[in-house]
Structure 1
Amino acid sequence: MKELTVRTFVRIHGEYQPWESLSAEKQEEIGVALNDKALRAIGYAPVKTEKTT
């Protein structure tokens, strides 16, 4: 049986790029944005708190 291969692409400014070709910083930025979008879709609203030092 042949092994399944999955490749992830993201569309940036209309062009598809392989996920692994992006820098670690760009991957993190996109990951955070996707998580935020998913959480908002299910009704999550972020609460802003003041930082204490």
Structure 2
Amino acid sequence: MIFNFFKRAAKDAITTASLAVAFEATVEYATKKFSNPSEKQDAHNKTKETHPETTLKPK
């Protein structure tokens, strides 16, 4: 009887942890997808400034 209690508690803990990870991933995805496009462009421009080797150069 006690064994079943701990077995159930462990199963619930695993389920809760899985749901928490899935929720965190969903929030992160939604934040990236629906964030302000100008912020994305600013971040892209900053990357170009700090890493000029990643920009295409004419041959």
TM-score by length of 1: 0.39
Question: Greater share of helix residues, 1 or 2?
Answer: 2
Question: Per chain length, whose mean CA-contact separation is higher, i.e. which structure has more relative contact order (CA < 8 Å, sep 6+)?
Answer: 1
Question: Greater share of strand residues, 1 or 2?
Answer: 1
TM-score by length of 2: 0.36
